[in-house]
Structure 1
Amino acid sequence: MTQAPERTRPTTATTPAVGQPIDRVDGAVKTTGASEYAADRPFPDLAHAALVHATIARGRITAIDTTAAEAVTGVLAVLTHRNAPPLKPPAARVNPFDLSTMASGTKVDYLGSDEVHWNGEPVAVVVAETLEAAVEAARLVQVDYAAEPAVTDFHAAEHSAEPVRALPMMPGGGRKGDAEQALAAAPVSVDLRFTTPPQNHNAIEPHTTTAVWDGDRLTVHESTQAMDFVRRHLALRFDVPVDGVRVIAPNVGGGFGGKGFVWAGTILGAMAARVAQRPVRLALSREAVFRTVGGRAPTVQRVALGAERDGALTALVHTGISQVGRVGGMPEAVGSQSKHLYAARSILVRHSTATLDALPNSAMRAPGEAVGTFALESGMDALAHELGMDPVELRMHNEPERDPLNGKRFTRRNLRAAYARGAQRFGWAERPPQPRSMRAGRALLGWGVATAFHMPIQLPADVTVRLAMDGTVLVRCGLHEIGVGAATVQSQIAAEALGVPVEAVTVELGDSALPVGAMAGGSGQTASVAASVLRACEELKRSALALARRAAGSPLRGRRIGNLAARNGGLFAADGAGETYATILARAGRPSLEGRVGARTSVGRVAGQVRFLAGMVNDQRRQVRAATGAHFCEVAVDEDTGEVRVTRWVAVFDVGRVINAKTAASQLRGGIVMGIGAALTEETQVDPRTGRIVNAGLADYHVPVQADVPAIDVSYLDEPDPTTPLGLLGVGEVGITGVAAAVANAVHHATGVRVRDLPITLDRLL
């Protein structure tokens, strides 16, 4: 397990911790390279594995020759469908009372048959003494196929798309009034088609599994955002007890959603270790990540908006088609934000999917909303242009007081303040409305704006908080350090709740042997764990008070305390009488006290899931909770070459209370950088004839580098949401939403060209 550096006994008085820009507790370890990742743990007798990938999209293996591979010095085994041990099948459907059933990236029984389901599927695994030998041998495996007709062209498959059925925890469509009729009658309207390409995760640390078996007990060092999901999935597939599987993930090395599911490398790494009867590491190459880990699906979207001449929206239509695989995948809910953002009199939001013989897609930072806001916010900009209105003015004219689809209340929403502050910081009032009206030398300048929107989730989390006699605090939870400073913010939360210095708190994380934490996904880990940390701290304080009230000589003995508070390491009554934790524990002869939240049995776990689901459904029936923001962007477009550079960025967010001003700003900037990549460079290119990814690696898949990113001015309102623990909302995903639209809108202002197909490459401007 991972923890913050050892703490010394605190000697200073506490100050408010929540909201402060405290340095990360693991900052020195990270920056000196001492952090341990899934591929770093040394093992004696460690073997290495490499994958062999299918080269057809659909069909069967007719012959597989492993002779040359097995002859390579150091090769221990070559696993194929002919000799691989059988696995139990993954869960056939999602069970809302066991969220780990969401974990399987595909429905495929890896190496369980001669079937091929997508171009790139693993058809063999080589295990060798060294990584070099495994890679060399994998190249020597010869596979013959009988190809079958396959659907591999997304745009050709649009006509076969089917409406999406309602799924657990997945945003659905919505309807209010007759939006199509209102659109036809609108005095001013736009009706536009947008496309976005497939995109792939490219985390700093590629997916890695290091698997060690001891009889039927399995330990996996894994690059994952969801340790408990992985643990339960592996137990199911290998038919071993859940308690016999331990997943260790001290640092994730980036995830963005791709590491929230179990993919082929994890299953086959554990299988290889069982066959080889020694520790095995399967570290995916960049190419293998593209071929075996699902990314963002391509989409085709229609945004149609109708308005009165004063800008009041009479119709909002947002429909979309996205791709799923024949063996898995999820809808890209592109209209998620469109049900909530604007006070349109009539609304139609519909999602459909087209099924292809392709690697199933997966969650990728702000699934649905990242690409859905591109279409909606570009459409709003186009409507503003048709109306001759300022784009900010149009948005504020249609800012709703309640949810426009069904009238539910917003738990908090202050987009007006975010836009006002952003416009002032950016200098938006100086923007001339006409395209091609701003220049800097040979470059055309443009200013664009767009709204950010994301609905965070909250999941159950088990936590223990232990207070020692010396005033130090230990928080234990199987949460994930995906790169956002998880230990730091939970230290701040526990410190403030208990009235101790942040330096007194240590957080243990990154191990499924710890109390089960929430997955790092849906911008929900911080709030999910915070809720449990706060409850555990309250339980701990009540226990301390109970000890004090029973202790002879305590000023709190026998007293009723209604308003319990903790400051500077002590418990205080409303009238000021109180004593320190250290004194209470010393009188009681107790070395420590512990507060605990979470199930202690499997029955308790199921009951907790039932309570969670009931609470979630009730919450969604009553209110809408979302993080929002306003993006302001400047671009410079070379008039001769069409090259686009983002030269300035201002963003203001309404994300509830901010726990750590430094880590929150970093996350929001990271989302904006990722959005700039989606706008200008990122595109997974798939050969429509074969279904093969042709740019499977960072040499040809272009993510933003430092030269592509300007200084990014990020701020936030820091106003608490009254319905969440500490008033916080998630900040991990809202940053990317609206970014591509802000860039596209700025490009239109600079050039007069409305680009509706991402990425915005030179050929689409010239």
Structure 2
Amino acid sequence: MKFDTPAGPNPSDRGRVLGQPRDRIDGPLKVSGRAPYAYEYHAEAPGAAYGWILGASIGKGRIARIDRRAAEAAPGVLLVLTHENAPEQGEDSDYAAPQLQGPEILHYGQAVALVVAESLEEARAAAALIDIAYDAAPGHYDLAEERDQAKLPESGQTPPRTDVGDFEAGYARAPVTLDVTYTTPDQSQAMMEPHASMALWEGDTLTLFTSHQIMHWAQEGVAATLRMPQEKLRVVSRYVGGGFGSKLEVYADAVLSALAARLLGRPVKVALSRPLIFNHTTHRAATIQRLRIGTEQDGRIVAIAHESWSGDQESGGTAEEASSQTRLLYAGENRMTRNRLATLDLPFAGSMRAPGEAVGLLALECAMDELAEKLGMDPIELRVRNDVGYAPEEGPAKPFSSRKLVESLRVGAERFGWEKRTAPGLRREGRWRIGLGVAAAVRPNLAQPSQARLRLDGQGQLTVETQMTDIGTGSYTILAQVAAEMLGLPLEAVTVRLGDTDFPKASGSGGSWGANSSGAGVYAAAAELRGMIARKAGFNADDAVFEDGGIRAGNRRIALADIAGAEGLVAEAGIEFGDLSEKYAQASFGAHFCEVAVDADTAEIRIRRMLSVAAAGRVLNPKTARSQCLGGMTMGIGAALMEEAVVDRRHGLFINHDLAEYQVPVHADIPHMDVIFLQEEDDKSSPIKAKGIGELGICGVGAAVANAVYNATGVRLRDYPLTLDKLLREMPAAAA
């Protein structure tokens, strides 16, 4: 099915199952411990040996000598792999990840050895016996020092530069101007489930149980690395315990478990230790961001520039595209954006929830508040005054498919009690200073081709099969709801099977495209099955009604179970997206509100309450969508107040590489939070009229927190995270 015209009325509109707040159907399996994660496929890969990866202890250089003899002689050890004896591997794919291919060290935590033993403890103990001597080389680990050498990257998710009108001239003649620089630190996804893999060879066929967000990327990457046909590789990721973008890549656990299993002739399982998750896998790169905005006296933007600098390995080349949302959010005829990239020798940079927008809005939305104060204008009014109905950099010829930013701000302001906001530093409750903050939210709506297979059996039970993954987002439940709605079945009659490359290719989980894209794929397969059922029943498919487990036309009704019969019916189809995304700018919008209390003596910051308002097309399941928003809001609080992967600039590593020292919000940090979904159906997004929401929940949250802190104290911090030591240095002056 090709989606190239706006969706009209269709069976997904009925709202009997789809759009209802249903419990997650995978919940009981997870809370009872029966949902198998990558390290736990014991029944399907019995007798697995345990692998332990040893990471490099320098940031740059080469291995001068490596002695594995003591490790090989240790109790229980079956195999020790280093660059001296590892099989040769391929690189013929963007997703390939060859391991142990030479003595060169590109970053701290790079795999330098794999030890396989009968137990985890034996493998770990033996790894400590490997004797390695390094020739360390000077490395570049400080973004600020490398800023002047940064260049525009050759590729990226979005163009590295844009220019509309004449920014410099427009800025020079603007009556009111703002020029500010914000910095954000490196961050780690720090998901609960580690990156883990279990490999099983049967002849020349490999089954790899792994923790990955996109099945076909994992299949392509591992197959290319091992130089084997993709059809000989089955990848399974039925349940993924969080990813946030880190599990979009293939790492040493997947490749080395497969190599070791082939060499040993038995299954091998490998999980990354927590320090390796920080220093072996990808992270969100630090940024330096300069915002320049020029306006008329009435606040209308006439010139806006957003420049961002970030860093990555030379062979990685991934910029944190922090200026990209500025191309979508506000009006202004003279515009300039840049995403520059410096070469750093830190571990590879990559995607982390809402790459680009999550940190870009930390700067842009605080700059908007600074501008509002300079203009003597309410921050919400400034944003409303610069709303625009079309893509600002492409003009009226490309209108938004839907855009409810102003409504999000207005509804949120009324619900949150924005009228109680005072001038900075005026509202107090005892020793606490109270402040309110706001920020806009935007996240582009992306769509990916996706396919599904539906099986209807003689008992009227429907099975959905697709490669789509569930990384804690509710995919099992959402796809069951789409299928149930389309076929007129109760949710209990639908079984969903995910995360297996034996199933039809699907979008996978990333970029907030998962639910909409894979849901549209299930919609297409369900439409195909509806046609098969109608034809077999002798009905006109356009006139038939599917409800209560049957198909009805006029006075005739036949149960789906009877039509399926003993042999059952199988339909397979998918969705391909046409040029609607070229004709219309597509994005989800929202607004975040925050109230903080700041201790006047200690500068301790406490979040008191938060509200998010989201407009993201049809909300497929308000319960799972709300959970996604709450998770994003929590991560936004972390980004604002505590998250920082601290770089040891002597040795080129993230030194706080565990969950004891890498600070994330805990229950005591999170107050009452509320979420409002605006009624919206985007008929230009997909047949099911949804848009992405998984990342919208974090976009702008940190800025709302920072703006609330300023409103409480009168202190504007531009260096994230907003830790109390930074605030305390300025508080006495503000108090005076």
Assess same fold via TM > 0.5.
Answer: yes
Please list the CA deviations of residues 656-700 of structure 1 after superposition, one character each: whole Å capped at 9, or x if unmatched: 111111000000110010111111111001112321221111111
What residue number does 1:118 align with? 107
Distance in 1 (alpha carbons) for counterparts of 2:566 and 2:63: 66
3-state DSSP of counterpart to 1:220: strand
What residue number does 1:375 align with? 363
CA contact 1:171–1:333 (8 Å) conserved in 2? no
For 2:407, the aligned partner's letter is: A
For 2:37, the aligned partner's letter is: Y
What residue number does 1:457 align with? 446
How far residue 757 of structure 1 moved from its aligned partner, in angstroms, is 1.0
How far residue 640 of structure 1 moved from its aligned partner, in angstroms, is 1.2
3-state DSSP of counterpart to 1:727: coil
How far residue 583 of structure 1 moved from its aligned partner, in angstroms, is 7.4
How far residue 591 of structure 1 moved from its aligned partner, in angstroms, is 3.5
Structure 1 alignment gaps of length 5 or more: 1-13, 92-100, 550-555, 599-607
For 1:464, the aligned partner's letter is: R
How far residue 572 of structure 1 moved from its aligned partner, in angstroms, is 3.5
- Which of residues 201, 225, 243 in structure 2 aligns to 1:213? 201
CA contact 1:537–1:595 (8 Å) conserved in 2? yes
- Which of residues 499, 514, 523 in structure 2 aligns to 1:510? 499
> Where do residues 121-270 of structure 1 align in structure 2 (5 Å cutoff)?
121-167=110-156, 169-170=157-158, 172-270=160-258
For 1:656, the aligned partner's letter is: G
CA contact 1:570–1:578 (8 Å) conserved in 2? no
Q: Is 1:65 matched up with 2:67? A: yes
Runs of at least 4 residues of structure 1 off by over 4 A? none
Please list the CA deviations of residues 560-618 of structure 1 after superposition, one character each: whole Å capped at 9, or x if unmatched: 56434322233344xx34422437627xx6642222115xxxxxxxxx9xx76xx3xx3
CA contact 2:525–2:573 (8 Å) conserved in 1? yes
How far residue 358 of structure 1 moved from its aligned partner, in angstroms, is 2.1
For 2:444, the aligned partner's letter is: M
How far residue 180 of structure 1 moved from its aligned partner, in angstroms, is 2.1
How far residue 622 of structure 1 moved from its aligned partner, in angstroms, is 1.5
Kindly tell me: are residues 247 and 20 of structure 1, through their superposed partners in 2, closer, same or farther at Cα, counting changes over 3 Å? same
- Which of residues 503, 526, 533 in structure 2 aligns to 1:544? 533
Distance in 1 (alpha carbons) for counterparts of 2:346 and 2:383: 39
What residue number does 1:519 align with? 508
CA contact 2:185–2:287 (8 Å) conserved in 1? yes
Larger displacement relative to structure 2 (311-320 or 238-247):
238-247
Q: Is 1:664 matched up with 2:625? A: yes
Distance in 1 (alpha carbons) for counterparts of 2:282 and 2:560: 52
What residue number does 2:31 align with? 31
> Where do residues 397-412 of structure 1 align in structure 2 (5 Å cutoff)?
397-407=385-395, 408-412=398-402
Q: Is 1:487 matched up with 2:476? A: yes
CA contact 1:454–1:733 (8 Å) conserved in 2? yes
Distance in 2 (alpha carbons) for counterparts of 1:474 and 1:113: 47
How far residue 264 of structure 1 moved from its aligned partner, in angstroms, is 2.1
- Which of residues 716, 721, 725 in structure 1 aligns to 2:682? 721
3-state DSSP of counterpart to 2:311: strand
Please list the CA deviations of residues 721-745 of structure 1 after superposition, one character each: whole Å capped at 9, or x if unmatched: 1112221111110100101111111
Larger displacement relative to structure 2 (265-274 or 394-403):
265-274
3-state DSSP of counterpart to 1:77: strand
- Which of residues 551, 568, 573 in structure 1 aligns to 2:548? 568
> Where do residues 212-361 of structure 1 align in structure 2 (5 Å cutoff)?
212-361=200-349
3-state DSSP of counterpart to 1:624: coil
Query: TM-score scaled to structure 2, two decimals?
Result: 0.94
Give the length in aligned residue pairs: 710
Distance in 2 (alpha carbons) for counterparts of 1:44 and 1:726: 42
Distance in 1 (alpha carbons) for counterparts of 2:155 and 2:224: 26
What residue number does 1:4 align with? none
> Where do residues 82-121 of structure 1 align in structure 2 (5 Å cutoff)?
82-91=84-93, 101=94, 103-104=95-96, 109-121=98-110
CA contact 1:469–1:581 (8 Å) conserved in 2? no
What residue number does 1:758 align with? 720
Distance in 1 (alpha carbons) for counterparts of 2:284 and 2:580: 28
Q: Is 1:416 matched up with 2:406? A: yes
Kindly tell me: are residues 651 and 582 of structure 1, through their superposed partners in 2, closer, same or farther at Cα, counting changes over 3 Å? closer
How far residue 525 of structure 1 moved from its aligned partner, in angstroms, is 1.2
How far residue 470 of structure 1 moved from its aligned partner, in angstroms, is 2.6
What residue number does 1:651 align with? 612
Distance in 2 (alpha carbons) for counterparts of 1:122 and 1:451: 41
Please list the CA deviations of residues 42-66 of structure 1 after superposition, one character each: whole Å capped at 9, or x if unmatched: 2433211111221222222111122
3-state DSSP of counterpart to 2:648: coil
Distance in 1 (alpha carbons) for counterparts of 2:73 and 2:713: 61
- Which of residues 645, 668, 674 in structure 2 aligns to 1:684? 645
- Which of residues 560, 568, 580 in structure 1 aligns to 2:558? 580
How far residue 274 of structure 1 moved from its aligned partner, in angstroms, is 2.1
For 2:412, the aligned partner's letter is: G
How far residue 353 of structure 1 moved from its aligned partner, in angstroms, is 0.3
Distance in 2 (alpha carbons) for counterparts of 1:127 and 1:548: 58
Please list the CA deviations of residues 122-165 of structure 1 after superposition, one character each: whole Å capped at 9, or x if unmatched: 11111111111111111221211122232222211111100133
Larger displacement relative to structure 2 (666-675 or 157-166):
157-166
What residue number does 1:8 align with? none
Larger displacement relative to structure 2 (253-262 or 233-242):
233-242
Q: CA RMSD in A?
A: 1.7
3-state DSSP of counterpart to 1:218: strand
Larger displacement relative to structure 2 (209-218 or 651-660):
209-218
Distance in 2 (alpha carbons) for counterparts of 1:305 and 1:420: 24
CA contact 2:451–2:525 (8 Å) conserved in 1? no
For 1:759, the aligned partner's letter is: P
How far residue 310 of structure 1 moved from its aligned partner, in angstroms, is 0.9
CA contact 2:537–2:558 (8 Å) conserved in 1? no
Kindly tell me: are residues 561 and 374 of structure 1, through their superposed partners in 2, closer, same or farther at Cα, counting changes over 3 Å? closer
Please list the CA deviations of residues 312-359 of structure 1 after superposition, one character each: whole Å capped at 9, or x if unmatched: 111111010111112314111111110111111211111110011221
How far residue 469 of structure 1 moved from its aligned partner, in angstroms, is 3.1
What residue number does 1:707 align with? 668
For 1:414, the aligned partner's letter is: K
Distance in 2 (alpha carbons) for counterparts of 1:26 and 1:702: 29
CA contact 1:57–1:150 (8 Å) conserved in 2? yes
CA contact 1:544–1:584 (8 Å) conserved in 2? no
- Which of residues 359, 375, 394 in structure 2 aligns to 1:387? 375
How far residue 171 of structure 1 moved from its aligned partner, in angstroms, is 5.3
What residue number does 1:741 align with? 703
Kindly tell me: are residues 494 and 45 of structure 1, through their superposed partners in 2, closer, same or farther at Cα, counting changes over 3 Å? closer
CA contact 2:192–2:242 (8 Å) conserved in 1? yes
Larger displacement relative to structure 2 (511-520 or 145-154):
145-154
CA contact 2:681–2:690 (8 Å) conserved in 1? yes
For 2:670, the aligned partner's letter is: V
How far residue 40 of structure 1 moved from its aligned partner, in angstroms, is 1.5
3-state DSSP of counterpart to 2:216: helix
CA contact 1:210–1:221 (8 Å) conserved in 2? yes
Q: Is 1:697 matched up with 2:688? A: no
Q: Percent identity?
A: 43
Distance in 1 (alpha carbons) for counterparts of 2:603 and 2:718: 16
How far residue 166 of structure 1 moved from its aligned partner, in angstroms, is 4.1
What residue number does 1:44 align with? 46
